[in-house]
Structure 1
Amino acid sequence: MSVYAKLTLFFSCVALVACNPKKETKTDDTAQRRRDSLETIRKAEEEARKRPRTAEDITLNKELAFDKHTLEETYPYKDTSRRFQLDKVKERLAFVENFQRTPATYGILQNHKNKNKEAPLVKKFHRNEYTRISDSLGTERYQSVPLYAVGEVDAPTLYGRDGSLVKLLSSDTVDFVKLEGVSFDGTWEVPKRYIKRIGDTVTFHRVVFVDVTNQNILTVERTGDCEWVIKSMNPATTGRHKPPYAQETPTGIFVVQEKKEKMYYYKDGTTSIEGFAPYASRFTNGAYVHGVPVNNPKGAIIEYSWSLGTIPRSHMCVRNASSHAKFVFDWARKYNSLVVVID
């Protein structure tokens, strides 16, 4: 090999050795940038998971499981139109998604027909048009549960409606249980006899929406994270304000807590059975989602009434077609499904 060739080979090797550290440094920088990018994506995804859900996050598609008497999203009524308030439905579904994102032990406030003892008088009360004692927010004492401010158990501050959903914050082995409202705001103490514990594994993936303004009923079911499908869209008739017997269907969030294939009812002001309502699912006080009333205790079930979807006519209950009431009766699981009443 010539001297020139040897020198050329020598300088080539020197140049190769000199270049290798730069290549290694460049490779290391690329790998670090990739790791940084993955970490940024991971953190962004984690923040997105923690972010409270909003109505915009909810997808709501139609997959009807009940297709009789179905209404469109907007439909004619007399000389105007009515609609399903899907914007409000999505807002409430976002709330349902959010309160279930952290582990909790759930309970239901119960005092149907004062079976767990009449609630004590609240600190500030008045008598309403029905001559019944009510708290400062208008919730009646009858069939309700006393809510005590934490550490102040001399007298309750408010009443909680029968059927309201709560999260239990303390053991139910003591006389008073500390809880956080889901159906209402705040942290309270409640005597344990008014609480039905339903555990920490229950999920609320089936929701019945009742609209007292548009007089309709909608059922939805969860299929994934923020993903819900509409199972039925039907006319309904809710409770009216007419003392001394008929009352409005209260707005709010309640748990389905009792079912009766035939819910017998009395003639107003008496203890005489006047008739029955088929496929009744009770959610608060004496309020049921049920079929068309039959004014004959031994009569046959009536499928439909011209009054459905018109104006409030009931005594607090939510009337709908009897076949739809049966759908709700079979589909909405007790202690596992919600009834959300909106206005």
Structure 2
Amino acid sequence: MRKIAFFLPLFAILLTVACKNTSKNTSAAERRKQDSLEKVKKAEEEAREAERTRPRTAADIKLDKDIKFEKYNLEDTYPYEDTTRVFQFDKIKERLAYIETFQAQKINYGVLQNYKNRNREAPVVENYVRNAYKRVSDTLGNERYQSAPLYREENSKKPSIYGRDGSLVRIESADTLDMVKVTGISFEGTWFVPKRYVKTKGDSIKIEHVAFVDVTNQNICVVERTGENEWKIRSMNPATSGRHKPPHAMETPVGMFFVQEQKAKMFYYKDGTTSIEGFAPYATRFTNGAYIHGVPVNNPKGKIIEYSWSLGTTPRSHMCVRNASSHAKYVYDNFKPFQSVVVVID
């Protein structure tokens, strides 16, 4: 009995040590398992983030038709006089991929604004020319009138180029009282701009509607975002863009612009006067004095005209983009300022 009594405490000690070793081994195994799970989770998160921010290409874009109009619709390819016109879906998908790419990034958005020089006439650039309209322009063809000055350095004495009214920018910093550092979304490069020309829009903007104006084929395609990389075509209609005819009529500028304001009726002057000649219905302004609007009515008190034979023919406007009035109303009703974009392609 004494021998048994002697071995019982020893057995208890050995059992305790064994349990502790087992516990340690179990804890170590659990930690290794937890570390492994965390590594897998981190790798998955990094993979998702890499995919989310990966530059999109035209091949990533799913673009399907869901037309909202019964009249004036055009086919992908259609005859015009003795030629053939098309909707340039390759370019449209490329621009949509670009929009998807910068929307996936954490961007503090801004828009350049100087409609009718409301934020002060921009200074003359270093190297300027006078265009066919006898107005000061930079060497890229951007006019001083209604534009924002873009400086290479914060302390530059003169701007290098002009940024068009309505251009999208990424706000990089605003470290000084007077200047904002921006990177162009609508144009290339990083620049400094006086604050008064930049309207900050924050980082929560989601672009859901885009209108593609084709100044070569004289048509317009409106699309709506329905999911990540997924867009629906809502209309494919004839349009008429601006023409080069100094001193009053100008081409619709190629580029990407925020919708900035809308008017149920946009009254316009007779060329060279301050007398109101008529109005354009359902007008959506995107840059300078360029609007997407319905058929012009050459009578300030006249009734809205739905369609014109001139739509989809040759450039005839003063810079604006004419549509069937019902189509212009669709844009007017669905495109929200600073959340919708007009892209002009050639």
Q: TM-score per shorter chain, which class?
A: 0.7 to 0.9
Tell me what 2:149 maps to: 146
Equivalent AA in structure 1 for residue 143 of structure 2: E
Tell me what 1:279 maps to: 282
How far residue 171 of structure 1 moved from its aligned partner, in angstroms, is: 3.0
Equivalent AA in structure 2 for residue 330 of structure 1: D
Query: After superposition, where does 1:63-142 map in structure 2 within 5 Å?
Result: 63-142=66-145
How far residue 44 of structure 1 moved from its aligned partner, in angstroms, is: 6.2
Tell me what 1:21 maps to: none
CA distance in 1, matches of 2:247, 2:171: 36
CA distance in 2, matches of 1:305, 1:55: 34
Residues 1:252 and 2:255 are matched in the alignment: yes
Tell me what 2:216 maps to: 213
Query: After superposition, where does 1:165-244 map in structure 2 within 5 Å?
Result: 165-171=168-174, 174-244=177-247
**8 Å CA contact 1:304, 1:322 repeated in 2:** yes
Runs of 4+ in 1 over 4 A off after TM superposition: 35-47
TM-score normalised by the chain length of structure 2: 0.85
Equivalent AA in structure 2 for residue 324 of structure 1: H
The percent of aligned pairs where both chains have the same amino acid is 65
Deviates more, 1:170-179 or 1:270-279: 170-179
Q: 1:62 to 1:272 in 2, by over 3 A?
A: same
Q: 1:172 to 1:239 in 2, by over 3 A?
A: farther
How far residue 222 of structure 1 moved from its aligned partner, in angstroms, is: 1.1
How far residue 292 of structure 1 moved from its aligned partner, in angstroms, is: 0.3
**8 Å CA contact 2:53, 2:101 repeated in 1:** no
Tell me what 2:264 maps to: 261
CA distance in 2, matches of 1:208, 1:172: 35
CA distance in 1, matches of 2:131, 2:146: 15
Q: 1:42 to 1:281 in 2, by over 3 A?
A: closer
Deviates more, 1:133-142 or 1:73-82: 73-82
CA distance in 2, matches of 1:59, 1:331: 21
How far residue 47 of structure 1 moved from its aligned partner, in angstroms, is: 4.6
How far residue 143 of structure 1 moved from its aligned partner, in angstroms, is: 0.5
CA distance in 2, matches of 1:36, 1:244: 66
How far residue 37 of structure 1 moved from its aligned partner, in angstroms, is: 10
Match of 2:303 among 286, 300, 304: 300
**8 Å CA contact 1:106, 1:168 repeated in 2:** yes
CA distance in 2, matches of 1:278, 1:112: 20
Deviations 1:117-143 (A, max 9, x none): 100000000101100000011100000
Any gaps of 5 or more consecutive residues in structure 1? Answer: 1-34
Tell me what 1:309 maps to: 312
Deviations 1:97-134 (A, max 9, x none): 11111111111100011011100000000101100000
**8 Å CA contact 1:150, 1:187 repeated in 2:** no
Q: Report the secondary structure of 1:149's partner residue.
A: coil
Q: 1:106 to 1:296 in 2, by over 3 A?
A: same
CA distance in 2, matches of 1:227, 1:124: 43
Tell me what 2:32 maps to: none
How far residue 48 of structure 1 moved from its aligned partner, in angstroms, is: 3.9
How far residue 234 of structure 1 moved from its aligned partner, in angstroms, is: 0.6
Any gaps of 5 or more consecutive residues in structure 2? Answer: 1-37
Tell me what 1:22 maps to: none
Match of 1:325 among 328, 336, 340: 328
Q: 1:68 to 1:172 in 2, by over 3 A?
A: farther
How far residue 66 of structure 1 moved from its aligned partner, in angstroms, is: 3.1
CA distance in 1, matches of 2:39, 2:127: 59
Tell me what 2:58 maps to: 55
**8 Å CA contact 2:169, 2:184 repeated in 1:** yes
Q: Report the secondary structure of 2:151's partner residue.
A: strand
How far residue 49 of structure 1 moved from its aligned partner, in angstroms, is: 3.7
Match of 1:157 among 157, 160, 171: 160
Name the count of aligned residue pairs. 311
Deviates more, 1:296-305 or 1:170-179: 170-179
Deviations 1:319-342 (A, max 9, x none): 000110000000111110000000
Q: 1:305 to 1:38 in 2, by over 3 A?
A: same
Deviates more, 1:65-74 or 1:129-138: 65-74
